[in-house]
Chain A
């Protein structure tokens, strides 16, 4: 049985709903699998040094990006982090331009000046990603404030990890959003790790309680492997935000790989593989082998075309070095 369907069928009993859930599940699954296969391709390519910049892989966390972005309107905006391959793809960014960006080529989204840590696709609402933890959170607040002032029904999503909530600007952003009733969704990907530091040694608070102290409603989703559960939670949260109040949505998830780079890091003994294995036992991208087999060939072709585009794209040079400084 597909693990995710259990949640969907509980929420929507009946055969028609099941069929609808099945279609949604396939849609989400396809995007999540694309993200995983893209990052596995990055792992394969990395030793070739064709991607000469740090990569922060989201393998294990795909369900968050996919479930959340699917619950948004296309014109809602997402502000993200250095670990945003998943959000870039889930929001609909071009795959060829992404690989060219990772390659540092002119055909990249940002002509090679951004690389993996700064993916952006404003044409589909991914409004940049920053390598400085927590730094895009107030951007989401500011954009949402503008939407509110214009009387727009668009909302924004600030995506960040659990470590970001320790930064002062997180508190500043929540306080302001609560005061001004800014339509922003604070979306925390809680993988329990800040680089190699575990959450219990970093946080004296629970995130939803912290939000509640500021008058902001919040919810924690434990089943962060479940794309449908993330989607449902985001739909609910987005509806509340669209009605005119901020919301904190915290989704438990698991970072399978090392903080930065393409390897695993269990041999450094700061964490064991047990916690990750527990997630893998629920990971639909691992469990649903039938759907993987069905979708994989087409997705691999898409990725191969994107890689070929990147390989063929010229490298930027002196003509580009000093453009767009101001």
Chain B
């Protein structure tokens, strides 16, 4: 079963890769807004941030799409300064891990400027960071810091899980959203093809239902939305279990009422996140449900995330470090039918085997 085209949007009018959607939105941003520019390590090279900025330097000139020295903090500070005088900067980090070098500017400055100056100063900008996974990314090329960034008021954090999400969200963010936005893109998604629609299925800057269902609610982020959709299809076919999949989509500003109403309907919950469970998205989903009504769940929820350790490089360890499709299916079936559900699980022990089109070194 192919990954992304498994469930094309009913109204999809064309097929577009995640990287292609990024390139289209970057191109449109530069074309539509003369104050917009893109800077980051390698944005103007032949790889163009995995194809998401390729050719734009040639098209719009080196003043608007340019490489920078290795200076994550400085680059982010430069973006803030440009934003303060009315430009709209887009910065990139080819691994989310590198954005940690810009933490001071992101958290102490960008996140604070609107509030700290009582609305006098604003620094709207888009910070694109890419999460790595598989092919031995190891401890420092694999982190997924959505919970970290969403913890700080003043930041808007999104995790587009499809080409459609990018096409819908980026134009609503770039030069329109009043504050700094961190978009956490996933490397595994870049080369996948998605059905996209120009008219329907607008993905808002908050959560949405990616698949309707009645038996189990699956709240997922980023590539785990795809994993949840694949698993939902499997349990439907194998066991007649109807899973509702909610793409959290915005990590800083999710639609908690949407999540709560789904859980109120199903009483059963699986949370599938790309990062660690501790103090993360999984913890926050539980907190939000608990403060609304502790009786929403009829049984303890299941949670899928990275094992509580830094990411190992060896493939044998990496395969058991991340939740596999088999574990995602098992979590849904366990919620629906109990741990002794007795239903055959998919024999796809390595989740990334499904993402055949992705090969290293990045």
Which A residues fall within an 8 A CB radius of B? 77, 79, 108-114, 118, 120, 122, 127-128, 130, 132, 135-147, 149, 156, 168-169, 172-173, 175-176, 179, 323-326
Stretch at the interface among B72-80, B126-134, B142-150, B311-319: B72-80
The answer to whether A145 and B82 have CB atoms under 8 Å apart is yes
In the complex, 14 of the A-B residue pairs with CB atoms within 8 angstroms, ordered by the A residue number, are: A108-B118, A109-B117, A114-B116, A120-B117, A128-B84, A130-B108, A139-B84, A141-B77, A142-B77, A142-B89, A147-B85, A149-B87, A168-B73, A324-B119
Stretch at the interface among B63-71, B158-166, B215-223: B63-71
The answer to whether B178 and A172 have CB atoms under 8 Å apart is no
The answer to whether B118 and A324 have CB atoms under 8 Å apart is yes
Q: Which residues of A contact B76 (CB under 8 A)?
A: 138
B121 interface residue (CB < 8 Å to A)? yes
Q: Which residues of B contact A325 (CB under 8 A)?
A: 114-115, 153-154
The answer to whether B105 and A120 have CB atoms under 8 Å apart is no
CA distance A145 to B108 in the complex (A): 22
B347 interface residue (CB < 8 Å to A)? no
Q: Which residues of B contact A139 (CB under 8 A)?
A: 77-78, 80-81, 84, 109
Q: Which one of A112, A120, A141, A173 lies within 8 Å of B121 (CB-CB)?
A: A120
List 7 tightest A-B contacts by C-beta distance, closest first. A142-B81, A138-B77, A172-B74, A110-B118, A139-B81, A142-B78, A172-B71
The answer to whether A114 and B117 have CB atoms under 8 Å apart is yes
Given contacts A114-B117, A173-B77, contact A143 B69 (CB under 8 A): no
Q: Which residues of A contact B86 (CB under 8 A)?
A: 146
CA distance A263 to B115 in the complex (A): 30
The answer to whether A113 and B81 have CB atoms under 8 Å apart is no
Nearest-CB distance from B222 to chain A (Å)?
Answer: 22
CA distance A108 to B80 in the complex (A): 24
CA distance A226 to B266 in the complex (A): 75
B179 interface residue (CB < 8 Å to A)? yes
CA distance A136 to B73 in the complex (A): 11
The answer to whether A135 and B104 have CB atoms under 8 Å apart is yes
B1 interface residue (CB < 8 Å to A)? no
The residue in chain A whose Cβ has the minimal distance to the Cβ of B155 is A326
Nearest-CB distance from B189 to chain A (Å)?
Answer: 26
CA distance A11 to B332 in the complex (A): 82
Q: Which residues of B contact A112 (CB under 8 A)?
A: 118
Beyond A110-B120, A146-B86, 4 extra complex contacts between A and B, CB < 8 Å? A128-B117, A142-B78, A149-B37, A326-B179
Nearest-CB distance from B147 to chain A (Å)?
Answer: 18
The residue in chain B whose Cβ has the minimal distance to the Cβ of A122 is B120
The answer to whether B74 and A143 have CB atoms under 8 Å apart is no
Q: Which residues of B contact A175 (CB under 8 A)?
A: 69, 71, 74
The residue in chain B whose Cβ has the minimal distance to the Cβ of A324 is B119
Q: Which one of B37, B68, B83 lies within 8 Å of A176 (CB-CB)?
A: B68
Given contacts A169-B73, A176-B69, A324-B114, contact A132 B80 (CB under 8 A): no
The answer to whether B82 and A113 have CB atoms under 8 Å apart is no
The residue in chain B whose Cβ has the minimal distance to the Cβ of A127 is B84
The residue in chain B whose Cβ has the minimal distance to the Cβ of A154 is B85
Given contacts A146-B86, A173-B74, A176-B68, contact A140 B120 (CB under 8 A): no
Q: Which residues of B contact A79 (CB under 8 A)?
A: 81
Given contacts A138-B73, A138-B74, A326-B154, contact A118 B81 (CB under 8 A): no
The answer to whether B71 and A176 have CB atoms under 8 Å apart is yes
B156 interface residue (CB < 8 Å to A)? yes
CA distance A140 to B79 in the complex (A): 10
The residue in chain A whose Cβ has the minimal distance to the Cβ of B177 is A326
Q: Which residues of B contact A324 (CB under 8 A)?
A: 114-115, 118-119
The answer to whether B82 and A143 have CB atoms under 8 Å apart is yes
B208 interface residue (CB < 8 Å to A)? no
Q: Which one of A136, A144, A326 lies within 8 Å of B114 (CB-CB)?
A: A326
CA distance A324 to B153 in the complex (A): 10
Nearest-CB distance from B44 to chain A (Å)?
Answer: 14
B113 interface residue (CB < 8 Å to A)? yes
Q: Which residues of B contact A141 (CB under 8 A)?
A: 74, 77-78, 81
CA distance A146 to B73 in the complex (A): 18
Nearest-CB distance from A36 to chain B (Å)?
Answer: 26
Q: Which one of B77, B85, B121 lies within 8 Å of A135 (CB-CB)?
A: B77
The answer to whether A138 and B120 have CB atoms under 8 Å apart is no
Q: Which B20-37 residues have a C-beta within 8 angstroms of A?
A: 37
Given contacts A135-B109, A147-B85, contact A118 B116 (CB under 8 A): yes
The residue in chain A whose Cβ has the minimal distance to the Cβ of B64 is A149
Q: Which residues of A contact B105 (CB under 8 A)?
A: 135, 138, 169
Residue from A113, A169, A326 having most chain B Cβ neighbours under 10 A: A326
The residue in chain B whose Cβ has the minimal distance to the Cβ of A141 is B78
Q: Which residues of B contact A138 (CB under 8 A)?
A: 73-78, 80-81, 105
Q: Which residues of B contact A77 (CB under 8 A)?
A: 85
Q: Which residues of B contact A127 (CB under 8 A)?
A: 81, 84-85, 121
Q: Which residues of A contact B108 (CB under 8 A)?
A: 130, 132, 135
The residue in chain A whose Cβ has the minimal distance to the Cβ of B61 is A149
The residue in chain B whose Cβ has the minimal distance to the Cβ of A128 is B121
Given contacts A132-B108, A146-B86, contact A323 B77 (CB under 8 A): no
CA distance A155 to B79 in the complex (A): 16
The residue in chain B whose Cβ has the minimal distance to the Cβ of A179 is B69
Nearest-CB distance from B93 to chain A (Å)?
Answer: 15
The residue in chain B whose Cβ has the minimal distance to the Cβ of A173 is B74
Nearest-CB distance from A175 to chain B (Å)?
Answer: 6
The answer to whether A145 and B81 have CB atoms under 8 Å apart is yes
The answer to whether B117 and A176 have CB atoms under 8 Å apart is no
Q: Which residues of B contact A143 (CB under 8 A)?
A: 81-82, 84-85
CA distance A173 to B121 in the complex (A): 21
Nearest-CB distance from B188 to chain A (Å)?
Answer: 30
